[in-house]
Amino acid sequence: MPEVNVKFMKKELDLKKLELSALLEVTQAINGNLTDQALYKIYHFTLLAQLQISRLGLFVLEDNWECKVNFGTNHNFLDTASLPPAITCLTEISYITDLNLDAHWGEFETVVPILQNRKILAFVLIGNSQAYYSTLGALSFVQTLSNIILVAMQNRRMARLRLAEEAIRNEIKIAREVQTMLFPKSLPNDDAVAIHASYLPHSSIGGDYYDYVPIDEDQFLFCIADVSGKGVPASLLMSNFQAGLRTILRQTPNLLTVVTELNHLIYCNAIAEKFVTAFFGIYNRRTNVLSYVNAGHNSPVLLHENSTVQLLTEGCTMLGIFESLPFISVTEVPIPNKSLIMCYTDGLTEVFNTDEDEYGLDNTIKFLQNYRYLPLPKLHEELLEEIKNHNQGSTNFHDDITLLSCRFK
């Protein structure tokens, strides 16, 4: 066998040994569940020590192009925030001299694109390699090795993202279950009064809340509230609100004290820019008198039998804004038989059509005057259908919608 063929075969064998060793080292590193930074370091030393590549830049596409590995160059490519279009358009191994680039890119000789499913993941720029490592076959191995480690890192990031998303879904599920537990299990419908509620959260966790709490044989409290914001933080604040309300009510039914203490609780426990609007009403079955405080909430509508309307507006500011409420009043209103009170959150009135016309309070009042004698569940159903039609038939509302109605018989 000619001596030149023996030398070539020996060189090829040595190359395959180096490639196999490099592949083994990188695979072990991937299986070792190391950090991305540690994997980049192993990639660096594998190419440098095992494959004898002494000048390299690895540019990875994440949100932007970023140089993750750079060694052997005078220019610091780690500070390079982009790649020239002449490089980013490549899909095959190419030579730098063919690309007409700025001088500092001349430290490299070859560009090796790294693809997965025909999508560019990265570019490896190589310079000053061993002569036999400039062959197309050897560069293809660099391409394969880089692809293995980058795809593995990408898969691990996706797995971490899936785990994080699953954790968020579990948190949301728990928060939704907690929020559901906050609502009363049943509402009264007896000879004196009927109460019904409807709740349509805008997202899986809303910031609206309603409650009914018996106080004694004659009195009960009903309330509706809206926490600023949405999601888990709003749900947690609402849980705090509900627990505080029921705890304070066990101590005293005095609305002035109840609202003052709730304001202090929310002010101390809510994070910045979180507040609560609420309406509290205590009805006395014996005297037929409603005592109420409106804490910056949408004014409930009191509809009398003759279709005249009274808005329940008096009270105080939103809860949680001030350490001490700047003003507060408890108002008493006689409730004649056959009256109706509709409480609601702003998701009801702030529904807009394509002409930016708001459904508004006036339309709500007109609807109640026209349909006041419907059973309360049907009344809610028809009202929600009405705002759906106002929203061009869509139930994709921009906010939570909560209705709480009381019919006094």
* Mean pLDDT confidence for 13-38: 63
Q: What is the pLDDT of residue 262?
A: 95
Tell me the two tokens of residue 195.
């109460």
Under DSSP, the state recorded for 348 is H
Query: What's the CA gap between 137 and 167, in Å, rounded?
Result: 45
Does the domain at residues 3-162 carry the CATH identifier 3.40.50.20? Answer: no
Q: What is the pLDDT of residue 290?
A: 97
Query: What's the CA gap between 337 and 408, in Å, rounded?
Result: 6
Residue 204 pLDDT class (50, 70, 90 cuts): low
Q: Are strands 65-71 and 53-61 parallel, antiparallel or unpaired?
A: antiparallel
Are 227 and 254 in contact by the 8 Å Cβ rule? The answer is no
* DSSP states of 20-78: HHHHHHHHHHHHTT--HHHHHHHHHHIIIIIS-EEEEEEEEESSSEEEEEEES-SS-GG
Are 344 and 224 in contact by the 8 Å Cβ rule? The answer is yes
In the chain, domain spans: 3-162, 183-408
Nearest to 153 by CA among 22, 26, 18, 49: 26
Q: What is the pLDDT of residue 250?
A: 92
Residue type, 228: S
* Mean pLDDT confidence for 281-291: 96
* Mean pLDDT confidence for 391-395: 65
Query: What's the CA gap between 299 and 361, in Å, rounded?
Result: 9
Are 127 and 75 in contact by the 8 Å Cβ rule? The answer is no
Residue 150 pLDDT class (50, 70, 90 cuts): confident
Sheet containing strand 301-303, strands side by side: 193-200, 401-408, 339-344, 301-303, 309-311
* Mean pLDDT confidence for 98-125: 90
Q: What is the pLDDT of residue 32?
A: 62
Are 197 and 402 in contact by the 8 Å Cβ rule? The answer is yes
Are 83 and 60 in contact by the 8 Å Cβ rule? The answer is no
Q: What is the pLDDT of residue 165?
A: 85
Q: What is the pLDDT of residue 42?
A: 77
Q: What is the pLDDT of residue 319?
A: 95
Does the domain at residues 183-408 carry the CATH identifier 3.40.50.720? Answer: no
* Mean pLDDT confidence for 285-291: 96
Nearest to 143 by CA among 22, 248, 227: 22
* Mean pLDDT confidence for 20-37: 65
Among 270-284, 301-315, 352-366, the range with the most confident prediction by mean pLDDT is 301-315
Query: What's the CA gap between 371 and 356, in Å, rounded?
Result: 26
Angle at 251 between CA 249 and CA 255, to 5 degrees: 50
* Mean pLDDT confidence for 80-105: 90
Q: What is the pLDDT of residue 195?
A: 97
DSSP three-state, residue 311? strand
212-239 pLDDT per residue, tens = 999 999 999 999 999 887 767 777 788 8
Query: What's the CA gap between 328 and 376, in Å, rounded?
Result: 32
* Mean pLDDT confidence for 337-354: 89
Percent of the chain with pLDDT over 70: 84
Residue 201 pLDDT class (50, 70, 90 cuts): confident
Residue 147 pLDDT class (50, 70, 90 cuts): confident
